[in-house]
């Protein structure tokens, strides 16, 4: 199999183009300090949303504890990089966060994902609260409710961008692999998947752990970029914010999640003055989307380079056909 | 020993409130297999209705309680008809997201309407404290306990003795078979929401009296704990929710009474995880084989 086929090359060019555009934007000052915060929020939300989409949109399980895993990543990174304020410290902290978040996800996932039904939703909700309470009570390490401050600024948008690319490659390749297809089959019909000999629990757990690990990465980057983290940043509200992005982008559409994170991030700047009204609009939109389009705004549609190529080819062939 | 019994009494009052909320969760879950995340917020709305009735219209306790129950029943049915009914055949995830959306809407709508600050609930009951053998029982606690028991008995009567109750039990056993027997399933589901929501409304007024403070985000934690109570007792089983509610209330009070007030919430969530590992069908639940 050729690694450098047209499709992959297309994506590579696309990634490079986006990077260059942002680079030009920041170096010419079009993206000023204020917009850079928005940019970072969007980039971090991309990681969070794609991870959550893997759990909700692809394996069909409902996790409400994304903020909890994010908190684990944030605090691990914060604590480690305060001690070792170097790039190595940041990477070590993120790795530690991934390890702990995966372990916690495994411990929660194994008992609850055996069960059919919505137990994961309620268990993750409980776990996210437990994580927050534990952080609140470990005063010596986490500084309790006041939170950690003075985390060295190491992460920037370039590093975050690299993490997005890596995590997207991992997640999308997982989805396209044989275990990934098994995971999607659970979403489509759990009983049918089981009768085809798929170990449904195993694939549900894999998706859940991958999602939790990506949340930990996002949390780590958040801690390192914003320098201040408090337990109050990682409440249920944060989980719902990410859920909103996933639903807008479409349950089961990775590119949809990316687009939704960007669009909502920009929309938030303009809706900021409306305060509470913004939340009301989002919650009504959440209900309305589910009632009228239960698979999310974009459904499982993906924007792909190969789709673009196909369309171009089709157009060409139609033209040729017309000429005959 | 005396301290222990005192904590037990306090736990019973808190447990009554959890039990009232848990009943709504369990009935709705039993009948349409949906975790109604908005239920905790209906309880919050109930508290605010009671607050407004007492503060602005000078209602006394019982009329305020009944007004709040009626309002919440209507609200519950409205939510069911608008948001949940179109999704009855959709995926579980879609239904859950709708429930989250509804919960979010109620919270933020209430913050928009009344502001997010905490308000003091008017004390309409004289706060007399009775002493028995060195144990203190306040008038409010007696009132909460008595109201809860009366409501539970009424619920039991409705579910076991009336035609509607029979229809509810039929729908929760097998909705399709019930429909074939000529039961109007939609009406039964709406009735279930009305019953559950009115109990949550009552709980809201009672908790306002008990803790003397209400705010728009107050529904989240008790809602979650009441759901855990329902799972502990066996979700879908009405006596299970009562038992679970009292159990969670008492455990929480005991933990905080013996120096663990910072971790009392974590203990409750831990109970959930433990019950999901060892007996997911709940303490009073039977193991039902999954049928294909």
- At B37-78, the pLDDT tens digits run 899 999 999 999 999 998 888 888 889 999 999 999 999 999
In a domain, B259, yes or no: no
CA B178 to chain centre: 26
Q: Looking up tokens 């915060």, which residue turns up?
A: A37
Among A133, A243, A287, select the one facing B265 at the smallest CB separation. A133
Residues of A in contact with B111 (CB under 8 A): 276, 279
Q: How many CB atoms lie within 10 A of CB B289?
A: 4
For chain A, what percent of residues have pLDDT higher than 70? 92
What whole-number distance in Å separates Cα of residue B115 and Cα of residue A275?
12
Residues of B in contact with A295 (CB under 8 A): 94
Question: Which of B41, B86, B97, B261 is the best substitution to test chain A (most A C-beta atoms within 10 A)?
Answer: B97
Residues of A in contact with B33 (CB under 8 A): 117
- A53 interfacial to chain B (CB closer than 8 Å): no
**Arithmetic mean of pLDDT, A86-100:** 91
pLDDT of residue A289: 86
- Residue window 193-222, chain B: list those with CB within 8 Å of chain A: 220
In a domain, B224, yes or no: no
In a domain, B95, yes or no: yes
Q: Is the pLDDT assigned to residue A322 strictly greater than 50?
A: no
Among the listed residues A35, A61, A90, A59, the one whose alpha carbon sits nearest the alpha carbon of residue A217? A90
Taking CA–CA distances from A58, the nearest residue in chain B reads B93
Q: Is the pLDDT assigned to residue A98 strictly greater than 60?
A: yes
Residues of B in contact with A133 (CB under 8 A): 262-263, 265-266
Among the listed residues B259, B251, B219, the one whose alpha carbon sits nearest the alpha carbon of residue B25? B219
Q: Taking CB atoms and an 8 Å limit, are A129 and B265 in contact across chains?
A: yes
Query: How many structural domains is chain B composed of?
Result: 1
- Any alpha helices (H) in chain B, and if so which ranges? 2-32, 39-57, 61-79, 92-114, 139-161, 163-173, 175-180, 185-211, 220-233, 238-255, 264-278
Among B94, B273, B290, select the one facing A108 at the smallest CB separation. B273
CA distance B143 to chain A (A): 31
In a domain, B285, yes or no: no
SS3 per residue for A142-165: HCHHHCECCCCCCCCHHHHHHHHH
For chain B, what percent of residues have pLDDT higher than 90? 34
Q: Taking CB atoms and an 8 Å limit, are B273 and A282 in contact across chains?
A: no
What is the Cβ-side half-sphere exposure of residue A235, based on CA atoms within 13 angstroms? 8
- B228 interfacial to chain A (CB closer than 8 Å): yes
Task: Report which secondary-structure segment, H or E, holds B129.
Answer: strand B129-132
Helices A157-176 and A178-188: crossing angle in degrees, nearest 10, is: 80
Is the separation of the CB atoms in A228 and A147 below 8 Å?
yes
Task: Report which secondary-structure segment, H or E, holds A6.
Answer: helix A6-28
DSSP state of A324: -
Question: Which of A291, A292, A296, A300 is the best substitution to test chain B (most B C-beta atoms within 10 A)?
Answer: A291
Question: Which of B35, B100, B256 is the best substitution to test chain A (most A C-beta atoms within 10 A)?
Answer: B100
Q: How many CB atoms lie within 10 A of CB B135?
A: 13
Residues of A in contact with B262 (CB under 8 A): 133, 136-137
pLDDT of residue A324: 37
pLDDT of residue B292: 46
In a domain, B278, yes or no: no
What whole-number distance in Å separates Cα of residue B124 and Cα of residue B250?
26
**Arithmetic mean of pLDDT, A250-260:** 87
Question: Which of B269, B270, B288 is the best substitution to test chain A (most A C-beta atoms within 10 A)?
Answer: B269
Among B94, B98, B224, select the one facing A125 at the smallest CB separation. B224
- Residue window 260-279, chain B: list those with CB within 8 Å of chain A: 262-263, 265-266, 269-270, 272-273, 276-277
Classify residue B86 as exposed, middle or buried by CB count within 10 Å of its CB (0-12, 13-18, 19+): middle
- In DSSP terms, which residues pair with B213 in a beta bridge? B120
- B288 interfacial to chain A (CB closer than 8 Å): no
Q: Looking up tokens 């994304």, which residue turns up?
A: A66
pLDDT of residue B247: 93
What whole-number distance in Å separates Cα of residue A30 and Cα of residue A23?
10
Backbone angles phi, psi at B212, to 5 degrees: 70, 10
Q: Transcribe A238-286 into DSSP letters.
A: HHHHHHHHHHHH-TT-HHHHHHHHHHHHHHHHHHGGGTHHHHHHHHHHH
CA distance B109 to chain A (A): 6
CA B80 to chain centre: 16
Question: What residues make up the domain containing B30?
Answer: 24-219
Taking CA–CA distances from A192, the nearest residue in chain B reads B292
**pLDDT tens-digit map of B218-228:** 888 888 899 99
pLDDT of residue A208: 93
Residues of B in contact with A134 (CB under 8 A): 266
Helix, strand, coil share (%) of chain A residues, nearest 5: 80, 0, 20
What whole-number distance in Å separates Cα of residue B189 and Cα of residue B210?
31
Q: Taking CB atoms and an 8 Å limit, are A291 and B83 in contact across chains?
A: yes
Among the listed residues B75, B35, B3, B40, the one whose alpha carbon sits nearest the alpha carbon of residue B226? B40
In a domain, B53, yes or no: yes
**Arithmetic mean of pLDDT, B236-263:** 87
Q: Taking CB atoms and an 8 Å limit, are A60 and B290 in contact across chains?
A: no
Top pLDDT among B150 and A149 is at: B150
Is the separation of the CB atoms in B51 and B208 below 8 Å?
yes
- Residue window 97-156, chain A: list those with CB within 8 Å of chain B: 108, 111-112, 115-119, 121-123, 125-127, 129-130, 133-134, 136-137
In a domain, B275, yes or no: no
In a domain, B206, yes or no: yes
Top pLDDT among A312 and A180 is at: A180
Q: Is the pLDDT assigned to residue A309 strictly greater than 70?
A: no
Q: Is the pLDDT assigned to residue A262 strictly greater than 50?
A: yes
Cβ-based neighbours of A227, under 8 Å, separated by 6 or more:
A149, A150, A151, A152, A153
CA distance B119 to chain A (A): 19
Among B101, B109, B290, select the one facing A287 at the smallest CB separation. B101
**pLDDT tens-digit map of B195-216:** 999 999 999 999 888 888 888 8
- A294 interfacial to chain B (CB closer than 8 Å): yes
Is the separation of the CB atoms in B114 and B48 below 8 Å?
yes
**pLDDT tens-digit map of A213-230:** 999 999 999 999 988 899
Among B95, B105, B280, select the one facing A283 at the smallest CB separation. B105
pLDDT of residue A252: 84
């Amino acid at each position: 199999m050729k690694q450098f086929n047209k499709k992959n090359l297309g994506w590579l060019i696309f990634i490079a183009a986006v990077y260059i555009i942002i680079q030009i934007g920041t170096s010419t000052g079009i993206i000023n300090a204020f917009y850079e915060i928005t940019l970072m929020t969007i980039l971090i939300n991309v990681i969070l949303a794609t991870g959550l989409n893997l759990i909700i949109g692809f394996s069909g399980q409902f996790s409400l504890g994304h903020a909890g895993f994010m908190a684990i990543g944030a605090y691990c990174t914060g604590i480690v990089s305060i001690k070792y304020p170097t790039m190595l410290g940041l990477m070590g902290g993120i790795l530690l966060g991934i390890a702990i978040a995966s372990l916690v996800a495994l411990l929660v996932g194994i008992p609850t994902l055996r069960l059919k039904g919505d137990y994961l939703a309620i268990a993750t909700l409980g776990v996210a609260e437990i994580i927050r309470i534990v952080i609140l009570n470990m005063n010596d390490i986490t500084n309790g409710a006041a939170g950690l401050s003075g985390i060295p600024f190491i992460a920037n948008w370039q590093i975050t961008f690299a993490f997005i690319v890596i995590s997207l490659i991992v997640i999308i390749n997982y989805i396209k692999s044989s275990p990934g297809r098994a995971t999607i089959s659970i979403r489509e019909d759990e009983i049918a998947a089981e009768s085809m000999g798929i170990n449904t629990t195993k694939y549900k757990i894999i998706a859940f752990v991958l999602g939790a690990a990506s949340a930990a990465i996002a949390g780590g980057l958040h801690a390192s970029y914003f320098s201040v983290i408090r337990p109050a940043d990682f409440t249920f509200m944060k989980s719902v914010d990410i859920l909103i992005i996933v639903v807008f982008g479409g349950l089961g559409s990775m590119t949809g999640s990316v687009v939704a994170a960007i669009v909502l991030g920009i929309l938030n700047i303009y809706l900021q003055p409306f305060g509470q009204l913004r939340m009301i609009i989002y919650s009504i939109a959440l209900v309305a989307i589910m009632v009228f389009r239960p698979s999310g705004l974009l459904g499982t549609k993906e924007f792909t380079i190969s789709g673009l190529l196909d369309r171009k080819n089709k157009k060409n062939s139609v033209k040729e056909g017309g000429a005959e | 020993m005396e301290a222990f019994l005192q904590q037990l009494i306090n736990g019973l009052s808190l447990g009554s409130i959890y039990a009232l909320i848990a009943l709504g969760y369990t009935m709705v879950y039993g009948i349409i297999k949906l975790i109604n995340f908005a239920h905790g917020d209906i309880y919050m709305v109930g508290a605010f209705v009671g607050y407004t009735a007492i503060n602005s219209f000078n209602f006394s306790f019982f009329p305020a309680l009944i007004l709040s129950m009626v309002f919440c029943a209507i609200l519950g049915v409205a939510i069911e008809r608008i948001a949940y009914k179109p999704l009855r055949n959709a995926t579980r995830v879609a239904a859950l997201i709708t429930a989250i959306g509804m919960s979010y809407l109620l919270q933020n709508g209430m913050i928009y309407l009344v502001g997010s600050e905490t308000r003091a609930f008017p004390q309409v009951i004289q706060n007399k404290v009775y002493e028995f053998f060195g144990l203190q029982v306040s008038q409010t606690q007696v009132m909460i306990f008595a109201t809860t028991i009366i409501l539970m008995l009424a619920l039991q009567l409705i579910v076991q003795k009336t035609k509607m109750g029979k229809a509810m039990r039929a729908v929760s056993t097998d909705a399709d078979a019930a429909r074939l027997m000529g039961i109007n399933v939609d009406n039964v589901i709406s009735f279930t929401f009305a019953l559950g929501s009115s109990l949550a409304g009552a709980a809201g007024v009672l908790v306002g009296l008990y803790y003397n403070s209400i705010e728009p985000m107050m529904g989240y934690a008790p809602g979650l704990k009441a759901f855990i109570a329902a799972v502990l007792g066996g979700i879908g089983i009405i006596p299970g929710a009562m038992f679970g509610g009292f159990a969670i209330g008492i455990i929480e009070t005991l933990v905080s009474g013996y120096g663990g007030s910072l971790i009392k919430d974590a203990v409750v969530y831990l109970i959930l995880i433990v019950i999901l590992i060892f007996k997911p069908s709940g303490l009073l639940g039977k193991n039902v084989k999954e049928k294909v």
